[in-house]
Structure 1
Amino acid sequence: MRAPKHALPLMADVYRQVIPRVHQELAIWKRKADDIPDEELRSQAQLSIRHKTFHCEGGSILGLLSGHHSKEVIRFIVAYQTISDYLDNLCDRSVSLDPNDFHHLHQAMLDVFEPEKEQSDYYACRDHTGDKNYLKDLVTVCREELVALPSFQIIQPHLQDLAKRYTELQVHKHVTPGEREERLIGWFESTAGPLRDEMSWYEYAASSGSTLGIFSLVAYAAKDPRMTRSKAKRVYEGYFPWVQGLHILMDYFIDQKEDHEEGDLNFCTYYESDEEMLRRIGYFFKRAKRAIRSLPDHRFHRMITSGLLAIYLADEKVSQHPLLRRQQFALFRFGGLESMFFYMNGRIFRRSGQKTD
């Protein structure tokens, strides 16, 4: 099986293969979440599945890169994304502002990529601990799929790099509001390397906050048991930083009003003007398109990139916000007709009862 090269076959595969499989996997985790004894942990696990299903659906589209192994790859993607969404809920809506707590929680996302290592005590710094092994079971499922990949060791360093960036971002962005910016700037200065000349600290943070590179690497390793180190590097560099940055900037773009009301950090608010924000998102889109040119299945990745613009612009948060509605037309210029096609699909899909978070 080859990855779809055109929009119509892609959407057909999404509706026929990806969405049903994602919902089957999420149903398993929903039952486990319902069985968590601690009220707070149970509530956050349930909410993360109920309101962030879209994250698993969107990420699992990359499972189509794995050919006949899409079932196994989607199982991994749903479990890993569920870890991410659950921990994000625990940090966003927690009374804790302790970076040690956030570090222990997010160790789960790092433990996934060290299958031989004993799992950590993820709740070591908080009173709520009774999850009936919910988080450890998620880690275990991810590990089961990874150790079955003949090429796992080839992609492992890149997976660990992306996961480390992601977890460090989550720790820094959830601490006391007065410390967040200083911590993130210091992290940027110490870890961004040459990217310091190409983007701001908040754009670097956005580029570190996506799981798409991880999912793409796992999908290719499932398809190609003889995956080379050079191909793994190409996939890594194809997604980080530009595609991942575009992904999270669009996520923050539609969440500006909500994050302001909740007091949550939003990287789009750091731009000096709306014009600069739109210009930089367009720049990330152009750089993303350039980065994916060397990837196998280039047309598929091009559709993913165009879809990132469209699927977020189709969110109801945009239609309900006059300023975002005006700005969306500027962003559509970057994606053209392909983005418009995915936008219309996104609108139809949301009217069937789905939404982003």
Structure 2
Amino acid sequence: MSKLEEVKKTFNEAIAGSSWWSRHIGSQFVDYLCLFVAKIVERMAAISSRALQESYLTLATKRTSILAGAETEGYVGRKAAPSKGCALVTNTGTKRVTLPKYSQCVADNQLRYTLMEAIDLMPQESAAVEVQQFEVSKMNYTVDEGKNWLAVAFPQELTKRIHNIIVRVNGEDWTHVFKFRNTDGKSKAYMEYYKPTDQLGVRFGNNNNGRAPATGDVIEFELWLTNGVTTLLDAQYLELIDMGIQSAYKDQLSIKTSTSIIGGAEPEDIESIRNNALYSPIYDEQIAWDSDYMTFVKRNISGVTWLSIWGEAEQEKLTGTPDVRNINTIFICAYSADKTDEILNQEIQVLFAGREGYNERYKLVERKDMPFTGTVKGKLYPSSNPEWATKVL
């Protein structure tokens, strides 16, 4: 039975009990009125069906729906990553110069850069330091009323630039955990979440799973804000930003890039967020399940073009001899088209740092690039031009 016939039947049954309306059953007026209502019903049914599809992560097409499904799974997309490189810092003055870690600089491209190491230089002394393209911004939030599951979301314009968040409550660092795993009511921990409104947020516990900030507590959010994919060539000067006592050193410090600062990455795209929320919720950013180190590395480090990871048995096949030093050792070799080997290896080392409790050792293996010759054989259609194919190759 069609929608129109269903509407006609229902409408006729409804007006059959009325002495006045029953006279119009079968009339052109009732037929067209039923047609009008049937079209409304069909349209609303289609809209409702489409809206229902948006509630399924596999069928959703709207960004907000996909992000809502990802939040349900507790998945937070990979954040923007800063470009990295090295700079040479020289004390050109006659006095000792000291700078704290994460000192801020600006380049001619008007982007902020951060010195990743503390500086302590005597006159005419130089030091090579790592530089990353991000600026440090701090926000304070005072808890007006203590409550369970306190959540603080950051504005959209900041969210798309956030690379890292450091949370301090009353000046004390709290720890980022995944869904409050392995916490109790005294654990000074928080989790991150991502709202469908494209806002990254921080959520605290309920004094059962993670401690809840009390009334009057001051929460400080230190945000590392990056512009993602940027390039600053070598031999470019960086200028210290006026930061109180450091301003006295501006005239006697020379900061010059010794390598190009490259290798940044944009935040994770929406289709990747969908797939990771569907198929990767088991990974909690702490361990590699069933020795799946490939997924663990690629999920946490952007721009990995090629990756190979192997264990004790494979290593002994390569060397041809058993070695007790291979026991519980994970060998890692990687390549990125966007980052230098030094930067990529450093990121991998940081990723696996602090996991000694898993009784595993992680060893980075130097990649050996070998030239090879490839032979291409093909067949052209009669309508094709051989010169075009040659140019493409």
TM norm. shorter chain > 0.5: no
- Bigger radius of gyration: 2
TM-score (norm 2): 0.28
Which structure has more helix as a fraction of its residues? 1
Which structure has more strand as a fraction of its residues? 2
TM-score (norm 1): 0.30
